Structure 1
Amino acid sequence: MSIKVMIVDDSAVVRQVLSQVFDKASGIEVMDVANDPYMAMDKMKAQWPDVIVLDVEMPRMDGITFLKQLMATRPTPVVICSSLTQKGTDISMQALAAGAVEVIAKPAAGVKGFLEDSASQLVMAVRSAAAARMSRVRVMPSAASPAASSATAASGLETRPKLSADAILAPPTGSNVFATTERIIAIGTSTGGTQALEAILTELPRTCPGLAIVQHMPEKFTRSFADRLNSLSQIEVKEASNGDRILPGRALIAPGGKHMMVKRSGAYYQVEVVDGPLVSRHKPSVDVLFRSAAKFAGRNALGVIMTGMGDDGAKGLKEMHDCGAKTIAQDEESCVVFGMPKEAIKLGAADEVMALEMIAKAICRQS
């Protein structure tokens, strides 16, 4: 059955190009288009879409207000596609806080070319949104205070062949890392991960092991996201910079548009932030983080794969498992999208499958 999409955007060009992109995609049908939320609401009286692709800046009613009304009356997966998200991440965080499942930042100029070039990203965003369990999406009381919700920004796809972590780092050769007293935690997540990470990090004490985290997000989003979590948590949360130490009571979030790896430096662990191609169609990639943790931390690490569309991180978690690390997959019931954990479980990569509310306690047990 096709995913029925409604496009709500005041630009006729955007409506036309998006319609063409989705009409060419298998399993997606553009149900209708509207140039503002009032027209959309009128059309939805006849038929309700599976996914809404929504602009932010529109006449009569802005997209954030419309999104909040939707979530209050009939929660529906929404992909925000707006140039306002380029101007400042506050608007994007407000969209996520209001219940958007995916956010795509389009440029203020050259929109037609961007949308055509980003067809794969847009299609993946819609499919990811359609798979979201809206019952697990927690809308914040006030989107004016940009908090992490259950949504995540789309990290994008390419039409080029899907690359593995081999493109960045050679695979581990086995469990050859000596056990030490220092433990690190590697976490990977995507759609639904902003809310899930908030739930975990705000529960951790300052004595918890250091964390390295990949959340699928584009550039400029991750710093605001990290700053927000830092303001809510006892531990330090920051967007990672190359060479940052992984320390107890600190969580490092991979910057959007870069890969992040765990490296051993003498008696300490630190992160290496590098550019490179998309891996498992993402940058940052969970597979890259997990492979590096397998190779350089081995049995001294805990790997956690959480809610998200696709399979990024599944193979990397299996490598961590095979190198002696403890591994956890989030359970289906607490996931917004059970894609990434499901694929890891299929591979036999997870030692344990547990609910979101149990993961913080599992992390603390690694101290």
Structure 2
Amino acid sequence: MSRKIQLLIVDDSAVVRQVVAQAVARAADIEVMATASDPLFAMEKMRHHWPDVVILDIEMPRMDGISFLRKLMAERPTPVVICSSLAEAGSETLMQALAAGAVSIITKPKSGLKGFLEDSSNDIVAAVRAAARANVRLLLRPAPPPLAVPTDRPLHSADVILPNGAAAMVKTTDKVIAIGTSTGGTQALEAVLTRLPITVPGIVVVQHMPERFTAMFAERLNSLSAIEVREAKTNDRVMPGRALIAPGGKHMMLKRNGAQYHVEVVDGPLVNRHKPSVDVLFRSVARFAGKNGLGVIMTGMGDDGARGLKEMRDAGAATIAQDETSCVVFGMPKEAIKAGAAERVLSLDQIPGALVAADR
């Protein structure tokens, strides 16, 4: 953006308003246009100057954050970053906020708040920047939006989890579909997985998400889909009609035992500022599935997955990137296309059909 991102902070805690404002003040491209102690005060200020991004608490007096979020999305869709202590528990209340159209989440602890916010200043700035770039109108489809918050921690590659170099085993015909996504991905995954038949090849998914949310997200998708969707555990089989979602805060890799595929869930450092990392998953699919893999990289900020998708293509796998028009944030697919990793570029509506055709 040529001008500064105009930010509105809405939180009933004066400490939160002050510390968040100080955190983003260090960023040259963000300006706090106003703060408000509750949504009604916020609406008064927005009548004079509309923000580019809103940081919003959920529990507040006079009007709760979810009601305010729904009002915003109905009247004038605006990127919203949730900053709430409810995120600690992965509560159903927070999932409602995500379904209402929030772009991302910052988990706010109940104690040690000031220190946490100061330590998380890079996360806050990254979340605001990602929100400012989001195509919010695409978030108004009936699905929960993303939780990814990139950080400025050490930038590792997938080498720290799975060293590169080994060739793929090829003595199986079973297909494996690997999907990687971030900002806007929860909505995109719902649009894809709910349209798949139980005959679709086994699916492994990395969605950038905090801990505790992936299980709830998988349960939601499972209730809406014909296929089985669940949070992955080590040794879970990858099989037709099943999608395994990497747990938040852990990396997931594909493995082989004879002709059968399974997953391994491991801890480790952040890769491309994320855990789980799409690059880690894609590299493992390149190694253990090779030409029997199909890689799909969808909406998200940053470049996680671009290198891994290129490794999959080099190993003979089919590869797909979501197109710009249907992405909430055209970051990860853009980088994959630029790297020559994408064999095809498809819209979100075209991807389910491509996955169904993968086993033909």
Give the TM-score, by structure 1 length: 0.95
- For residues 107-146 of structure 1, what are the structure 2 equivalents within 5 Å? 107-140=109-142
**Match in the other structure for 1:302:** 294
**Match in the other structure for 2:319:** 327
Structure 1: gaps (5+ residues): 141-147
Q: Are positions 1:160 and 2:172 aligned together?
A: no
Paired residue type of 1:112: K
Deviation at 1:277, TM superposition (A): 0.6
Structure 1, 71-80 or 258-267: larger mean CA deviation: 258-267
Q: Are positions 1:313 and 2:315 aligned together?
A: no
Q: Are positions 1:292 and 2:284 aligned together?
A: yes
**Match in the other structure for 2:32:** 30
- On the 8 A contact 1:172/1:319 being kept in 2, the answer is no
Deviation at 1:177, TM superposition (A): 3.0
- On the 8 A contact 2:206/2:246 being kept in 1, the answer is yes
Deviation at 1:292, TM superposition (A): 0.7
- For residues 38-49 of structure 1, what are the structure 2 equivalents within 5 Å? 38-49=40-51
Change (3 A) 1:187 1:170: same
Deviation string, structure 1 residues 213-261 (Cα, Å, up to 9, x no partner): 0000000000000000000000000000011110100000000000000
- For residues 12-31 of structure 1, what are the structure 2 equivalents within 5 Å? 12-31=14-33
**Match in the other structure for 1:144:** none
Residues in 2 aligned to 1:182 and 1:155: alpha-carbon distance in whole angstroms: 35
**Match in the other structure for 1:352:** 344
- On the 8 A contact 1:177/1:299 being kept in 2, the answer is no
Paired residue type of 1:68: R
- On the 8 A contact 2:104/2:147 being kept in 1, the answer is yes
Paired residue type of 1:26: A
**Match in the other structure for 2:209:** 217
Deviation at 1:88, TM superposition (A): 3.7
SS of 2:234 mapped into structure 1: coil
- For residues 1-367 of structure 1, what are the structure 2 equivalents within 5 Å? 1-140=3-142, 148-149=143-144, 151-157=145-151, 159-174=152-167, 176-178=168-170, 180-367=172-359
Deviation string, structure 1 residues 78-123 (Cα, Å, up to 9, x no partner): 0000002223431221111111011121111111111111112111
Residues in 1 aligned to 2:149 and 2:290: alpha-carbon distance in whole angstroms: 28
Deviation at 1:155, TM superposition (A): 4.1
How many pairs does the alignment contain? Answer: 357
Residues in 1 aligned to 2:172 and 2:21: alpha-carbon distance in whole angstroms: 55
Cα root mean square deviation, aligned: 1.1
SS of 1:137 mapped into structure 2: helix
Deviation at 1:49, TM superposition (A): 0.6
Residues in 2 aligned to 1:324 and 1:139: alpha-carbon distance in whole angstroms: 35
SS of 2:328 mapped into structure 1: coil
- On the 8 A contact 1:172/1:291 being kept in 2, the answer is no
Residues in 2 aligned to 1:179 and 1:342: alpha-carbon distance in whole angstroms: 33
Structure 2: gaps (5+ residues): none
Deviating above 4 A after TM superposition, structure 1's stretches of 4 or more consecutive aligned residues are none
Structure 1, 245-254 or 177-186: larger mean CA deviation: 177-186
Paired residue type of 2:146: T
Residues in 2 aligned to 1:160 and 1:358: alpha-carbon distance in whole angstroms: 35
SS of 1:366 mapped into structure 2: helix
